[in-house]
Each structure stands twice: as C-alpha cells, then as structure tokens.
C-alpha cells in the first residue's frame, strides 16, 4: 500500500516536471524562431550595404566624344560618352572578338557612360588624358565578388560567362576591383537593374503615407476617444459604436485595401498609386488602434482629478480639455506611435490601391506615385534576379530598424511622461 | 486660388478670436459682469467666422465641377450623343482650355472651351463673393450677440461636443464604407455567376475570364466552372488549420509557463522578446517563408523520398503559425493571470501539484478566454495576406496534402487586383465577392470571440 502511494507520488512529480518542460520548450521554440529569423535576414542582407566597383582606365579622347578644343561646360554636358565608354571596356582585352566585346560591356551597369560623364564634369582638365574611373559592376559580378554566386555551376546555367569571370579575375588580381559602402542603395529610386536599385523612392513613399495617416487618424481618433470616454451617454448607440471599433480592429487589412479601391479610387477618383490614398487607407486601419489606446489612457486618469476640477467650478468641457486630456497624452501618444508602426509595416492594402507600380523617380509630394518600404520588399522578393535577394534583406533591415526605433520611442514616452497613480 | 481663400479664412478666424476677446475686456472695463471667460467670447466669434465659410467652401468644391460640366454639355444635349462620347468631349474641352490639347480642334470644342473658361471664372469670383459675404453676415450676427453680453460658453461647448460626436462616428462610417465598397460589386458578380456555382463549384480558374473580347456581350454560360470557390475556401481553412497546429501548442504552453512558472526575471525578458514576433511586418514573414522555409522543406522532403512543392501549404501555414504565437501567448497569459488567486490556493491546499492545479482548475476556469484568444488567432490566420501571396501557390488546387500548394481567399484577391483593374469585369467583381466572404467570416469570428472574452472578464471582475 505504502509503496503504491510512493509510486503514485513519483508519477505525479514526473508529470509535473514534464509539464514544466513543455512550457520551457515552447518558450525556447518561440525564441529559436526569432533568432533564426533575425540571423537569416542579417546574414543575407548585410552584404547589400557594400557595392563592387571596377576600376577601369578611361581615355577621355576629345575626338571620339565629338568635342572641339577648349569646350564649354555645356559642350561637355552634351558630348557623346558612349564611344569612349565602350572603348575603355574593350581595352580590358584588346584581342576580344565581337561577342566577347559585348560580354565586356555587360560587366558594368548600363549606367556606366553617365558615371564617366560625371568624372569629366568634376574635372574638365581630364580631356585628352587617361584616368582610372570607378564603374559600378553588374549585379552578377557584384554577387560573384561577394561570394554569393556559385562559380562552379556549368556555364550555361550561369548568368556570368567563363570569359567574363576570366577578365574579372584578372581585374581582381591587379587590385582593380574594390568594394565600398553602397550609398546609392539609399539615394537611388527603384530600378530594374539590381546594382542600381535603391530604397529612396519607397522610403519617401512610406514617410508620406505615414504622415497622411498621422494627420487624419490622430485627431479623429483622439476626439472620438474623448467623446466615448467622457461624454457619451450609456445607450445602445454608444454600444454600437464600441462594437464597431472593436470589430474594425480585427478586420483583415486586405479588406481596407478593397475599401480604398472601391471607394477612394473608384468613387472619389483620387489619383492611383499615391501615398495620399495609401495614407488615407492606412489611417482607417489605425483609427481603432489609436481610439482603443486613447480610451485606455483616459480611463487611467483617476476620477479625483475630474472631481477636483469640477469642484472648482470648471465645466465638463473645461475639465476634460484642461486636465483629463493633457494627463492622458503620454499613453495616447505611445499608442499612436505603435499604431503608426503597424501601418508602416502594412503591405496588402497598399498593393490593392496600386502602390506596387514600378516607380523610378523619387516622389516629392503625397500626390506623386510611389511605393512604400514593405511593398518594395514584396516587389524585389518577386524578382528573379539574384542581386535582389540581398537587397530585400537589406530593405527588411532598414524597415525593422525603423520599427524598433518607433517602438522604443513609444516605450520611452510611456515610461518617462506617464504619471503613476496609486 | 482655393489655397489663398482657405488661408484667408483661417487668418480671419484667428483675428476674430482676438477681436472677440478684446470685446470681452471692454465689456469688463465697463464694470459689467461677463457671462463667461473672455476667451470664450473669442472662440464664439472665431467659430461663427470660420465654420459657415468652410461649409460653403467645401460644398462649392464638391458641386462646382458637376454643375460646370452640366452647363458646358447642355449645348450638346439634343444631338444624340452617348454618355461616353459626352465625357470624351468634356475631357477634350478641359484639355484645350489648359492648352494641353494636341488633337484636331473643331469649332464646337473651341466654343465649349471658351464657355468652360468663362464659367470657371464666374464660379471662382462668385465663390469668393459668397464666402466673404457669409463671413461678414455671420460675424456681424455673432458680434451683436457678444456685445449684448449674451451667453457664449454654452454654444461654444455645444459646438465642441458636436465635433467630438462627429469624430466618434468615424468608426461607423468606416464599417459602412467597407460594406458599401464590397456589396455593389458582389451583387453585380452574382448577377452573372449564380450564387450556387460560387459556393459549391469546385473549379477556380479566373484567368479564363480574362480572355474575353470586351465588345462581346457577357455570356454567363462562359463562366460556368470558372468561379467555383470551394478550392479557395478549403485552401484558406486548411492553411489556417496548419497555422493553428503550430500556434496553439506553442502559444498556449508559453502563455501558461509565463503566467504560472516563470520567475519575474524570465518573464521580464521573454515576454517582450516573444512579442517582437508580433511586430514583424507580415511581408517579412512572407519573404522568410518563400525563400528559406519553402526550399528547406522541399530539400528535406526530397531527401526522405517525398515530393514536396516549393510553395507547399506547410511552409506558408507553418510560418503563419509562428506569426500567431505571440497573439495566443499574450492573450492566454492575460486570461490566466486574471484567474483569482483563491482558486489556486484552494487547489494547493488539497495537495495538488502545480501542473495539476493548472490542468484541472485554472485551465477550465480560463477556458472561455482561451477559446476567445484562439478564435481571434484563427480570424487573423484567415485574413493574413502577404505570407500566402509570397509563399503559397497561386493556382487553386483542391487538396488536403500539406506538401502540395494551395491558394487562399486573400491570395486570390491580390492576384486578381494587382495591376490595372477594369470595374464591371466579372474577374474584378469576383475579388470583391471573395472580399465580402472574408469580411463576413472574420466578422462572425471576431464578434463571437469578443463576446466570449467579455463574458469571461465580467465573470471574474
């Protein structure tokens, strides 16, 4: 009998330990996913912040550029750079046949003549002389240099030919290939060529959308929260509004995209693909989040504050506007920032209102067509070219960076400025 | 022009505020008792100055284009043009008046362009006159009220309250907007495709509807067997099911562990770390699923002799599950912590171990709340878009094999509506019909879940 009891007890203790272990492993799994995730993004993305340059001697031959002696600045601006650009690439291998010459040309970005032009514009004295110029390597060579491209594949499965690799290896051996910080990733707009594609247009698109979203959602949400928390009578209509808000907070984001498409674009005829429409759509989405946060922080202001103000003869409106609302602001603001962070990461509704259009200009106002950072991630992730993979990860890193900063900011506001009532 | 008028109104509003306040001080200096604080006199005047002007201003902005268009096109009214042709003529007229017209200029269009320009300038100047006279009239009225020292605080506060109330209608308006934008397209869709075919059809192949000469009349029989949504609905619930298979055990167990076992320190660090998973944008999860998990599962499957699609439902569902872990864990954590301590104490006093207490006492007590949180998680899984768009297939297979690719409601909406859409096309309308079903399904789930959670809260408060 006694033995039996002990066995039972042991069994129960073992069950206890097992249960505990399940819990620990669940937490461990969740954290493991997070780690793998972050690691994967960083390990594929960090190399996008470097860019490979080929250093190629360029002969600024006035004759080939159709320039006279002593050209004016305008002449230099209008000159023909394609010929000298081609020549300088062909000079890498003087014995190249026509096909090989073509391959040589494709070793740099199609942008290369403009890079040569910039060089001459910077220093017009170079005319007639030879100088080593930094040219952006094609994205395939860029990937080869970073070691992301399998060189041992059979040649017909590679986008880089054996010939190009040979020339490239020669350049590397001579120290004519250099890797530098990739500024153009932050200053260029999107491009079909991976080596030139940057996040500037989608970044501005995101900023404009978020600003529009903030300008609409914040005032409306705060006013609505004040009404519901401080003035609304307890009746069916108020309940109905409340049900609406709670339900909207859980409606899938793509439905808001359909709303933007069906109402803002089709009925109000607002311009497609613009941060204006994107911002309005996002603001409808963040509205419930901000209302809920603002109401919670209004509720947290103790009634004694209101009673004191009322006792001093303030009206309900004065009590609310002068005392309750200012005291609730830290909580409201941090809720707003968290809502905006959600909006910043939102993709699906923006796709539906056309913000996936290919935009190779940097938008200057909310009325210009633009993409946004998450949409840019989607666009690049759908591209087949290998060079875009690291760009996607790098773009994700930028986006996550912004989200972290916003969330930290929200935390700081909450902890620094919120009054603790107890 | 509009901007100048707008700024002018705003400036006038500010001036009237100071003017009204000054008036209050003058009244005060005559030793009369004020009926409200001086700034309320200012607010009163400013509201009367700006609000009527803004109302006229915005009404004008809404109706002016329509009226001008009607007047310009009235010249063409009895010449038997179709609506589309009239619209084209109007567009040409506008382009010509801006000097951007490149086509052949007919005397008719030139005449209308002149008419258009003159109408526009009449409209502009009459707008300015009307807005200004409205300001003068209402300010005069308000100033008289102020001078006779009648009440100002009550009307101002009433106005503010009305503004607050209007803002709170925004949520209702959004819901109305959603229903409104979905319902008309959906009704049009079901005029062409019978509801029965949509709900019970097993072939979803909307690309077929695209191969259509737009001049031909719509022939409903063409679309039989094109818009059968069963594979889509099945795929949606299947992927959501896979996601919940990942999210429920991990989320629930970590919620329980954090609430009952974890020391203060572990809780302090682990909870926010897990919640990071909820803050990661879904497009990032989609990229992760498509580029890492999908190929990994495929390789794993091949090495075990299984045929795995690179866009398997397992990859999309699994990653979606990871995304939902924090929702379930933090909601169930909240629910479990709000179970009264007395229940635990009672159970311990009877000699139960901690895990027995959790399994036999706390879990049953918290069950409604946990079910609510799981339902919210399911609603999120069904509505999740980017992960499925990027990681799961776009062709709608009717399958229950997690290693094959399937498609979901959200993915199909994106596939149909990405790029240019033609409203009035059954394909576009199909996307709205799918959106409607998505909205209805998530609406039901949310309402049930919110009810359950609310009931549960009331029980222990």
Phi and psi of A178, rounded to 5°?
-135, 150
B141: in domain: yes
B159 pLDDT more than 90: yes
Which residues are CB-contacts of B161 (< 8 A; sequence separation ≥ 6)?
A: A227, A231, A317
**A9-18, A184-193, B273-282: which has the minimum mean pLDDT?**
A184-193
Measured in angstroms, the CA of B378 and the nearest CA of chain A are apart by 11
Q: Same domain for A150 and A265?
A: no
Place of tokens 């084209």: B88
Measured in angstroms, the CA of A108 and the nearest CA of chain B are apart by 28
Mean pLDDT over B61-69 rounds to 84
B149 pLDDT more than 90: no
Q: Same domain for A252 and A283?
A: yes
Place of tokens 């959004």: B174
Q: Given A30, A221, A377, which is nearest B287 (Cβ)?
A: A377
Identify all chain A residues contacting B311, using CB atoms and an 8 Å cutoff. none
pLDDT at residue A422 in the model: 64
Q: Name residues 114-153 of chain B within 8 A of A (Cβ).
A: 153
A3: in domain: no
Higher pLDDT, A413 or A131: A413
pLDDT at residue A134 in the model: 86
Over its C-alpha atoms, chain A yields an Rg (Å, rounded) of 30
Q: Same domain for A241 and A164?
A: no
B264: in domain: yes
A69: in domain: yes
B175: in domain: no
pLDDT at residue B224 in the model: 65
Measured in angstroms, the CA of B430 and the nearest CA of chain A are apart by 12
SS3 B452: helix
**A317-331, A363-377, B208-222: which has the minimum mean pLDDT?**
B208-222
Q: Given B160, B170, B417, which is nearest A224 (Cβ)?
A: B170
Q: How far is CA A62 from CA A69, A119, B237, in A?
A: 8, 14, 69
Q: Give the model's confidence band at B220: pLDDT under 50 very low, under 70 low, under 90 confident, else very high.
A: low
Measured in angstroms, the CA of A169 and the nearest CA of chain B are apart by 30
B457 pLDDT more than 80: no
A152: in domain: yes
A92 and B CB contact within 8 Å: no
A155, A182, A209 - which closes a domain: A182
Domain with B307 in it = 230-460
Backbone CA torsion sign across A215, A221, A222, A223? positive
Mean pLDDT over B19-36 rounds to 85
Task: Answer whether B356 sits within 8 Å of A12, measured CB to CB.
Answer: yes
Identify all chain B residues contacting A247, using CB atoms and an 8 Å cutoff. 175, 443, 446-447, 450
Task: Answer whether B283 sits within 8 Å of A347, measured CB to CB.
Answer: yes
Mean pLDDT over A141-168 rounds to 80
For residue range A233-276, what is the model confidence (pLDDT) as tens digits?
988 999 899 889 988 988 999 999 999 998 888 888 888 889 99
State in Å, rounded, how far the first CA of chain A is from the last one.
55
SS3 A55: strand
Per residue, the 3-state secondary structure of A142-177, as one string, reads HHHHCCCCCCCCCHHHCCCCHHHHHHHHHHHHCCCE
Counting DSSP H helices and E strands in chain B, the numbers are 18, 0
Task: Answer whether B258 sits within 8 Å of A27, measured CB to CB.
Answer: yes
Angle at B442 between CA B439 and CA B446, to 5 degrees: 130
Task: Answer whether A403 sits within 8 Å of B281, measured CB to CB.
Answer: yes
Q: Same domain for A205 and A161?
A: no
Is there a contact between B322 and A70 (Cβ–Cβ < 8 Å)? no
Q: How far is CA B447 from CA A246, A293, B312, B367, B373, in A?
A: 9, 20, 32, 17, 12
Q: What share of chain A is helix, strand, coil (3-state, %, to 5)?
A: 65, 5, 30
Dist. CA B107–CA A222, nearest whole Å: 56
Dist. CA B47–CA B163, nearest whole Å: 12
Question: Facing residues of A50 across strands?
Answer: A181
A390: in domain: yes
Count of alpha carbons within 13 angstroms of residue A189, beta-carbon side:
14
Q: Same domain for A230 and A174?
A: no
Dist. CA B429–CA B421, nearest whole Å: 10
Dist. CA B132–CA B121, nearest whole Å: 17
A62 burial via Cβ count (<10 Å: 0-12, 13-18, 19+): middle
Q: Same domain for A81 and A229?
A: no
Dist. CA A300–CA A186, nearest whole Å: 43
Q: Name residues 365-384 of chain A within 8 A of B (Cβ).
A: 374-375, 377-378, 381-382
Q: Kindly report whether the global pTM for this prediction surpasses the value 0.80.
A: yes
pLDDT at residue B221 in the model: 61
Q: What percent of chain A has pLDDT over 70?
A: 100
Q: Same domain for B322 and B441?
A: yes
Q: Give the model's confidence band at B210: pLDDT under 50 very low, under 70 low, under 90 confident, else very high.
A: low
B296: in domain: yes
Mean pLDDT over A175-196 rounds to 84
Mean pLDDT over B49-62 rounds to 88
SS3 A52: strand
For the record, the structure tokens of B135 come out as 């300001």
For the record, the structure tokens of A268 come out as 């109000």
Q: Which of A221, A250, A344, A409 to mutate to test the interface with B (most CBs of B within 10 A)?
A: A250
Task: Answer whether B274 sits within 8 Å of A389, measured CB to CB.
Answer: no
Place of tokens 């629930």: B252
Supply the mean pLDDT for chain B.
85
Task: Answer whether A248 sits within 8 Å of B185, measured CB to CB.
Answer: no
Dist. CA B229–CA B203, nearest whole Å: 7
Task: Answer whether B276 sits within 8 Å of A34, measured CB to CB.
Answer: yes
Angle at B203 between CA B320 and CA B223, to 5 degrees: 125
Q: Which of B168, B285, B411 to mutate to test the interface with A (most CBs of A within 10 A)?
A: B168
B450: in domain: yes
Dist. CA B320–CA B236, nearest whole Å: 12
Q: Same domain for A167 and A117?
A: yes
Higher pLDDT, A19 or A128: A19
The number of C-beta contacts closer than 8 angstroms across A and B is 255
Q: Name residues 234-253 of chain A within 8 A of B (Cβ).
A: 240-241, 243-248, 250-253
Task: Answer whether A261 sits within 8 Å of B410, measured CB to CB.
Answer: no
Q: Name residues 241-260 of chain B within 8 A of A (Cβ).
A: 249-254, 256-258
Domain with A212 in it = 200-417
Place of tokens 């499957």: B301
B60 pLDDT more than 90: no
Task: Answer whether B277 sits within 8 Å of A40, measured CB to CB.
Answer: no
pLDDT at residue A53 in the model: 87
Dist. CA A188–CA A190, nearest whole Å: 7
B127, B154, B181 - which closes a domain: B154
SS3 B428: helix
Dist. CA B385–CA B239, nearest whole Å: 12
Question: In this structure, what DSSP letter does residue A157 have?
Answer: G
B364 pLDDT more than 60: yes
Q: Please state at what angle helix B38-73 crosses helix B2-29, rounded to 10 degrees.
A: 150
Task: Answer whether B446 sits within 8 Å of A250, measured CB to CB.
Answer: yes
Q: Provide the CATH number for the domain around residue B260.
A: 1.10.3720.10
SS3 A166: helix
B359 and A CB contact within 8 Å: yes
Is there a contact between A204 and A359 (Cβ–Cβ < 8 Å)? no
Is there a contact between A315 and A272 (Cβ–Cβ < 8 Å)? no
Task: Answer whether B185 sits within 8 Å of A22, measured CB to CB.
Answer: no
Q: Same domain for A230 and A140?
A: no
Q: Same domain for B236 and B143?
A: no
Question: Facing residues of A130 across strands?
Answer: A59
A154, A182, A210 - which closes a domain: A182
B138, B154, B170 - which closes a domain: B154
B132, B154, B176 - which closes a domain: B154
Q: Same domain for B244 and B140?
A: no
Which of A221-225, B233-237, B289-293 is predicted most confidently?
A: A221-225
Q: Same domain for A136 and A241?
A: no
Q: Given B153, B167, B384, which is nearest A220 (Cβ)?
A: B167
A31: in domain: no
For the record, the structure tokens of A394 come out as 């790098």
pLDDT at residue B310 in the model: 78
A218: in domain: yes
For residue range A40-91, what is the model confidence (pLDDT) as tens digits?
888 888 888 888 888 888 888 777 777 777 777 777 777 778 888 888 888 8
CA B170 remoteness from chain centre: 12
Q: Give the model's confidence band at B207: pLDDT under 50 very low, under 70 low, under 90 confident, else very high.
A: low
pLDDT at residue B244 in the model: 95
Dist. CA B43–CA B23, nearest whole Å: 12
Higher pLDDT, A140 or A343: A343
Q: Give the model's confidence band at B223: pLDDT under 50 very low, under 70 low, under 90 confident, else very high.
A: low
Task: Answer whether A262 sits within 8 Å of B180, measured CB to CB.
Answer: yes
Identify all chain B residues contacting A377, using CB atoms and an 8 Å cutoff. 283-284, 287
For the record, the structure tokens of B305 come out as 């002799």
Higher pLDDT, B87 or B286: B286
pLDDT at residue A85 in the model: 82
Measured in angstroms, the CA of B211 and the nearest CA of chain A are apart by 22
Backbone CA torsion sign across B114, B118, B124, B127? negative
Q: Which helix (H) or strand (E) holds A216?
A: helix A200-226
Mean pLDDT over B241-255 rounds to 94
Identify all chain A residues contacting B439, using CB atoms and an 8 Å cutoff. 251-252, 255
Q: Given A250, A321, A344, which is nearest B376 (Cβ)?
A: A250
Measured in angstroms, the CA of B53 and the nearest CA of chain A are apart by 21
Q: Given A22, A244, A393, which is nearest B172 (Cβ)?
A: A244
B210: in domain: no
Task: Answer whether A252 sits within 8 Å of B410, measured CB to CB.
Answer: yes
Identify all chain A residues contacting B276, using CB atoms and an 8 Å cutoff. 34
Q: Same domain for B132 and B257?
A: no
For residue range A333-350, what is the model confidence (pLDDT) as tens digits?
999 999 999 999 999 999
A335: in domain: yes
Q: Same domain for A58 and A96?
A: yes
For residue range A205-219, what is the model confidence (pLDDT) as tens digits?
999 999 999 999 999
Domain count, chain B: 2
- What is the DSSP annotation of A323-355? IIHHHHHHHHHHHHHHHHHHHHT--HHHHHTTT
Higher pLDDT, A367 or B225: A367
**A143-147, B291-295, B317-321, B329-333: which has the minimum mean pLDDT?**
A143-147
Measured in angstroms, the CA of A142 and the nearest CA of chain B are apart by 20
Q: Provide the CATH number for the domain around residue A280.
A: 1.10.3720.10
For the record, the structure tokens of B327 come out as 């929702």
pLDDT at residue B208 in the model: 62
Dist. CA B116–CA B114, nearest whole Å: 5
pLDDT at residue A256 in the model: 94
Place of tokens 């819990």: A23
Q: Give the model's confidence band at B109: pLDDT under 50 very low, under 70 low, under 90 confident, else very high.
A: confident
A258 and B CB contact within 8 Å: yes
Dist. CA B225–CA A228, nearest whole Å: 50
Mean pLDDT over B102-122 rounds to 81
Q: Same domain for A133 and A262?
A: no
Domain count, chain A: 2
Task: Answer whether B175 sits within 8 Å of A248, measured CB to CB.
Answer: yes
B388: in domain: yes
Measured in angstroms, the CA of B385 and the nearest CA of chain A are apart by 6
For residue range B272-292, what is the model confidence (pLDDT) as tens digits?
899 888 889 999 999 999 888
Identify all chain B residues contacting A291, using CB atoms and an 8 Å cutoff. 171
Measured in angstroms, the CA of A160 and the nearest CA of chain B are apart by 23
B148 pLDDT more than 60: yes
Measured in angstroms, the CA of A266 and the nearest CA of chain B are apart by 8
Identify all chain B residues contacting A374, using CB atoms and an 8 Å cutoff. 281, 283-284, 386
A187: in domain: no
Q: Same domain for A293 and A170?
A: no
Place of tokens 């992960």: B387
Angle at B380 between CA B374 and CA B386, to 5 degrees: 145
Measured in angstroms, the CA of A10 and the nearest CA of chain B are apart by 12
Q: Same domain for B259 and B384?
A: yes
pLDDT at residue A268 in the model: 82
Is there a contact between B75 and B114 (Cβ–Cβ < 8 Å)? no
Phi and psi of A234, rounded to 5°?
-80, 95
Identify all chain B residues contacting A252, using CB atoms and an 8 Å cutoff. 379-380, 382-385, 410, 438-439, 442
Dist. CA A49–CA A391, nearest whole Å: 9
Q: What percent of chain B has pLDDT over 90?
A: 31
B297: in domain: yes
Measured in angstroms, the CA of B67 and the nearest CA of chain A are apart by 17
Q: Give the model's confidence band at B91: pLDDT under 50 very low, under 70 low, under 90 confident, else very high.
A: confident
């Amino acid at each position: 009998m006694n033995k039996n009891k002990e066995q039972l007890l042991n069994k129960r203790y073992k069950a206890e330990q097992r249960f505990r272990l399940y819990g620990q492993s669940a937490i461990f799994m969740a954290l493991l996913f997070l780690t793998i995730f972050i690691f994967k993004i960083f390990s594929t993305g960090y190399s996008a912040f470097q860019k490979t340059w080929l250093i190629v001697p360029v002969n600024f031959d006035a004759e080939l550029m159709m320039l006279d002696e002593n050209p004016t600045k305008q002449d230099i601006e209008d000159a023909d750079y394609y010929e000298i650009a081609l020549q300088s690439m062909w000079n890498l291998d003087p014995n190249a046949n026509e096909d090989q010459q073509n391959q040589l040309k494709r070793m740099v970005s199609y942008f290369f003549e403009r890079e040569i032009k910039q060089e001459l514009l910077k220093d017009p004295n170079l005319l007639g002389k030879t100088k080593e110029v930094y040219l952006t390597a094609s994205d395939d060579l860029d990937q080869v240099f970073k070691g992301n491209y399998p060189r041992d594949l059979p040649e017909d499965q590679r986008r880089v030919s054996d010939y190009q690799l040979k020339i490239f290896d020669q350049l590397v051996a001579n120290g004519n290939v250099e890797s530098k910080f990739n500024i153009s990733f932050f200053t260029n707009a999107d491009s079909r060529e991976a080596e030139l594609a940057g996040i500037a247009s989608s970044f501005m698109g995101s900023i404009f959308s978020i600003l529009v979203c903030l300008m609409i959602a914040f005032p409306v949400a705060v006013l609505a929260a004040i009404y519901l928390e401080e003035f609304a009578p307890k009746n069916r209509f108020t309940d109905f509004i409340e049900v609406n808000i709670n339900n909207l907070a859980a409606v899938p984001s793509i439905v808001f995209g359909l709303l933007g498409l069906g109402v803002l674009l089709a009925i109000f005829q607002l311009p497609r693909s613009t941060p204006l429409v994107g911002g309005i759509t996002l603001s409808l989405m963040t509205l419930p989040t901000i209302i809920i946060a603002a109401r919670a922080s209004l509720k947290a202001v103790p009634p004694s504050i209101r009673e004191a103000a009322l006792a001093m003869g303030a009206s309900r409106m004065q009590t609310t506007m002068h005392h309750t609302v200012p005291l609730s602001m830290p909580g409201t603001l941090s809720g707003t920032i968290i809502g905006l962070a959600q909006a910043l990461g939102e993709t699906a509704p923006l796709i539906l209102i056309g913000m996936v259009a290919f935009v190779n200009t940097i938008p200057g106002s909310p009325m210009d067509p633009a993409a946004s950072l998450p949409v840019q991630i989607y666009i690049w992730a759908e591209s087949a070219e290998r060079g875009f993979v690291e760009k996607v990860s790098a773009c994700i890193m930028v986006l996550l960076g912004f989200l972290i900063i916003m969330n930290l900011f929200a935390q700081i506001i909450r902890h620094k400025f919120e009054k603790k009532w107890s | 022009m509009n901007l100048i008028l707008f700024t002018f109104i705003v400036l006038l509003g500010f001036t009237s505020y100071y003017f009204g306040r000054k008036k209050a001080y003058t009244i005060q200096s005559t030793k009369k008792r004020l009926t409200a604080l001086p700034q309320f006199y200012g607010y009163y005047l400013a509201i009367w100055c700006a609000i009527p002007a803004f109302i006229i201003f915005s009404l004008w902005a809404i109706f002016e284009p329509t009226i001008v268009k009607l007047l310009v096109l009235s010249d063409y009214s009895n010449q038997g043009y179709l609506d589309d042709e009239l619209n084209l003529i109007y567009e040409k007229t506008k382009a010509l008046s801006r000097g951007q017209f490149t086509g052949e200029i007919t005397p008719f269009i030139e005449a209308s362009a002149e008419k258009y320009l003159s109408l526009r300038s009449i409209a502009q100047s009459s707008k300015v006159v009307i807005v200004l006279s409205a300001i003068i009239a209402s300010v005069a009225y308000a100033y008289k009220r102020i001078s006779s020292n009648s009440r100002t605080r009550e009307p101002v506060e009433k106005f503010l309250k009305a503004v607050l109330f209007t803002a709170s209608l925004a949520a209702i308006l959004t819901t109305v907007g959603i229903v409104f934008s979905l319902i008309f397209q959906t009704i049009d869709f079901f005029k062409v495709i019978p509801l029965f075919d949509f709900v019970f059809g097993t072939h979803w192949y909307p690309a077929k509807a695209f191969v259509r000469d737009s001049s031909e009349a719509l022939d409903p029989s063409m679309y039989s067997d094109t818009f059968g949504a069963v594979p889509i609905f099945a795929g949606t619930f299947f992927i959501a099911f896979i996601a919940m298979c990942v999210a429920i055990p991990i989320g629930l167990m970590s919620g329980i562990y954090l609430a009952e076992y974890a020391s203060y320190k572990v809780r302090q660090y682990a909870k926010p770390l897990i919640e990071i998973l909820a803050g990661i944008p879904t497009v990032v999860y989609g990229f992760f699923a498509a580029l890492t998990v999908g190929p990994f599962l495929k390789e794993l499957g091949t090495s075990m002799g299984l045929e795995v699609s690179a866009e398997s439902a397992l990859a999309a569902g699994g990653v979606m599950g990871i995304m939902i872990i924090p929702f379930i864990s933090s909601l169930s954590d909240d629910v479990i912590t709000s179970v009264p301590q007395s229940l635990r104490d009672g159970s311990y006093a009877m000699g139960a171990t901690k895990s027995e207490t959790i399994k036999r006492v706390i879990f049953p007590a918290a069950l409604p709340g946990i079910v609510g949180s799981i339902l919210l998680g399911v609603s999120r899984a069904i509505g999740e878009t980017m992960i499925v768009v990027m990681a799961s297939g776009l062709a709608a297979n009717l399958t229950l094999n997690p290693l094959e690719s399937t498609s979901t409601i959200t993915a199909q909406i994106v596939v149909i509506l990405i790029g240019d859409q033609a409203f009035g096309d059954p394909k576009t309308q199909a996307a709205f019909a799918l959106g409607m079903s998505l909205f209805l399904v998530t609406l039901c789930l949310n309402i049930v879940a919110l009810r359950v959670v609310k009931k549960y809260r009331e029980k222990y408060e």
